[in-house]
Chains A and B, each alone.
Chain A
Amino acid sequence: MNDPLAYQLFILALSVFLGFALISKVPPLLHTPLMSEANAICGIIIVGALIAAGIDAESPFTIALGVSAVALAAFNVVGGYLVTERMLKMFKKKDSAK
């Protein structure tokens, strides 16, 4: 497993299985919050955006791209988690709803 690509593909394959196993357990009741939470974790691209915005800037253009990426990803992450939280807060059981 010295080849980094093979190692990454290995991880990819296992992650796909993990994803299928986890998500098939989510009831239709929670499909909207599921989607928004998946959306929020997809904002993990913020990690890449931070690296992109932080590297030696060649030109104002790449700075602008990097910073926009950070802003967009932060929007995705913060918006996604908050909206999920707002939705999940509304799901109540019978006795506690009244």
Chain B
Amino acid sequence: MKLQFLVQLTYITASILFAFGLKFLSSPVTARRGNMLSAAGMLLAVLATLAGQHIISWQWIILGLVIGSALGTFVAFKASMTQMPEMIALLHGCGALASVFVDWVHYEHLLHLPVFSIGPVESFMLYISIVIGALTFSGSLIAWGKLSERLPGKAIVFAGQQFFNLLILAGILISGVLFLMEPARIELFYAFLALATLFGVFLVIPIGGADMPVVISVLNSYSGVVACTTGFVINNTLLIVVGALVGANGIILSIIMCKAMNRSLTNVLFGGFGQVKKKSGDSIKKDVHPVSVEDAQLILEAAKSVIFAPGYGMAVAQAQHAVRELTQVLENNGCEVKFAIHPVAGRMPGHMNVLLAEANIPYDQLLEMETANPLMETMDVAIVIGANDTVNPAAMHDKSSPIYGMPIIETFKAKTVFVIKRSMATGFAGVENELFYYDNTCMIFGDAKDVIQRIVAEFKTK
């Protein structure tokens, strides 16, 4: 009795440490301390559980801990910052699968008791937990596959997809209702476990690359919900508290991401940009102004202020370190350099910030969209690198555009805009970018990294 009380006290301490961990993330100065506190809380919780539990098979537990920790360490140090979105997706998937297994063991345990008994709330929570856990697991694996390009990153759609999804959903609901009436029937348990896994696959498959930030946020929220419901199933308050924290986190991030694209969550998850009809006919070929690297360098040399608008293309080209070099050269030349970061740039919330921080760019130069836009008019040069839809002025005035209403980085207000791009291809939304045809826009065609490096080289030969 006394021991159990101590375990509970430790759990409370752990939750407080987790809360502080999140609180300290409100500033980059304290964030690392917060992460440390949070990890300490986790260690406490694990030790308390081991001490408070009447554990029989230590050897197995230690085996599991060692394997999991070793793999975790290996992956955490191996992953590059560009790979961060897929890493997070993979971690989500593993956490969700662990929850499913915990619920499963609990259910098997109940089935093997001399008298099977399960309350209605417990069976309901078990059902919810398994369904969301299974679909989070398979959905995360698909997201991981797409982000790491093991699967095609584009939206995969087929005829009758919505109908097919509804069919699976109906199956999940029916097996669930039957299960709640007769919770001892394990075949029903298997049925919704399998169907939910399948559902997760079909939920994420039709979602294309640039919508990934939303998907990852939603999966994050789900993994919190699963931890929470598992807490109800195995009667563990700590799981409920942490699950609620993580669930709230995912919801907030999903909302921020959706707002930044001016789309609703249902539109992102079920609508799909894939169906956007290409407008034909009215694509009058206007003139673009291509400039050479040499000319670009001359303009940059005269510039007193430069702002970068990076996008996923910068990550693909691995250009962040070259950008850092150019930043340094420009600063040595007495120029002020800033970065304007769109909330959905990249493949997950905050992706660009991490990439630029990795390239050793101080975070006080990374501006949020709201801070950057009012400064735009005072900027001599804005450099768009690997971004497209997030800088398209059509979003501000063209009501017929699919991206109308989406807040953008208003690079067109700068005196000169450089767009570094391989070709004139459209962005994720499949819409032409007006910015390219503006009078103050100069196109520099080529690979982002290569172009930046050549500009830096130009500077150095002077």
Contacts and interface: CB of A to CB of B under 8 A. Distances in A.
Contact of A94 (B19, B49, B230, B365): B365
Contacts of B108: 58-59, 61-62, 65
Bin the interface of chain B by size: 35 or more
Given A39-B223, A75-B94, A78-B72, A69 B246 contact: no
Interface SS, B side: helix
B120 to A, nearest CB: 10
A30 B84 contact: no
B116 to A, nearest CB: 13
A37 B63 contact: no
Nearest to B55: A54
B61 interface: yes
Contacts of B97: 68-69, 72
B29 to A, nearest CB: 8
B275 interface: no
B347 to A, nearest CB: 10
B39 A81 contact: yes
B240 A8 contact: yes
* A43, A48, A84, most chain B CB atoms within 10 A: A48
A66 B240 contact: no
B46 to A, nearest CB: 6
Contacts of A72: 68, 94-95, 97-98, 101
Interface in B151-199: none
Contacts of B351: 32
Nearest to A97: B362
A71 B65 contact: yes
Contact of A69 (B18, B32, B98, B360): B98
Interface in A1-59: 4-5, 8, 11-12, 15-16, 18-20, 22-59
Contacts of B316: none
B105 A52 contact: yes
B187 to A, nearest CB: 16
Contacts of A75: 68-69, 71-72, 75, 91, 94
B236 to A, nearest CB: 6
B364 interface: yes
Contacts of A26: 22, 25-26
A66 B103 CA distance: 10
Interface SS, A side: helix
Contact of A54 (B53, B75, B235): B53
Contacts of B36: 85
B21 A41 contact: yes
B112 to A, nearest CB: 4
Contact of B244 (A12, A48, A67, A97): A12
Given A63-B60, A69-B101, A27 B26 contact: yes
Nearest to B42: A77
Interface string B219-242: 010011011101110111111111
Contacts of A89: 32
B42 A35 contact: no
Contacts of A22: 19, 22-23, 26, 245
B49 A23 contact: no
Interface of B: 14, 18-19, 21-23, 25-29, 31-32, 34-36, 38-39, 41-42, 45-46, 49-50, 53-57, 60-61, 63-65, 67-69, 71-73, 75-77, 79, 81, 84, 87-88, 91-92, 94-95, 97-99, 101-102, 104-106, 108-109, 112, 121, 216-217, 220, 223-224, 226-228, 230-232, 234-250, 252-253, 256, 341, 343, 348-351, 353-354, 357-358, 360-366, 368
Question: 3 tightest A-B contacts by CB?
Answer: A74-B68, A19-B248, A31-B350
8 contacts: A35-B88, A39-B223, A53-B61, A65-B108, A71-B71, A75-B71, A80-B76, A85-B36
Given A24-B252, A65-B108, A71-B68, 16 more contacts: A8-B232, A23-B245, A32-B84, A32-B354, A45-B98, A51-B49, A52-B101, A58-B108, A74-B72, A79-B75, A82-B73, A86-B77, A87-B84, A91-B363, A94-B362, A96-B362
